[in-house]
Structure 1
Amino acid sequence: MNAVLRPILLAALLVASSACVTINIYFPAAAAEKAADRIIDEVWQLREGAPTPAPENGGTPQ
């Protein structure tokens, strides 16, 4: 094999193999459901004309 071609082929192989990585992130189902319920409740409150809930950061806008 050619001395110039070997390092190029090796680098291409390393790049190709490192590109085949998958990262899976799993969220706890109970926490996701609780957050979704809270968002839905807030949306319904806004639609019904109820006052918006106080911000959790002490009431100062960011």
Structure 2
Amino acid sequence: MQRKLAWIVQFVFATMLLSACVTINIYFPAAAAEKAADKIIEEVWQLEDEKKEEKEEKEE
């Protein structure tokens, strides 16, 4: 019984040790990320411009 428990503990430990060594790297293309960021910034500026125009229209 003790041997079986020892094997199970060793197996679990070895599995945890091996899984801890796995690294997942995700690479994003820089050009695509920059293009997406520019698009988001443009959309934000457009929204801000629209809000300013609405505010000016209300004040008039």
TM tier, smaller: 0.5 to 0.7
> Between Structure 1 and Structure 2, which shows a larger proportion of helix residues?
2
* CA offset digits 1:1-59 (Å, max 9, x no partner): x6221342133112221122110100000000000000000000000117xxxxxxxxx
Within 5 A, what are the aligned runs for 1:1-20? 3-4=3-4, 5-20=6-21
Question: TM-score of the superposition, structure 2-length normalised?
Answer: 0.66
Higher RCO (Cα < 8 Å, 6 or more apart): 1
SS of the residue 1:49 aligns to: helix
How many residues matched?
Answer: 49
Unpaired runs of 5+ in structure 1? 51-62
Cα RMSD between the aligned structures? 1.8
TM-score (norm: length of structure 1): 0.64
Aligned residues: percent identity?
Answer: 55
CA distance in 1 between partners of 2:30 and 2:15 (Å): 37
Decide which structure has the larger Cα Rg and report it.
2
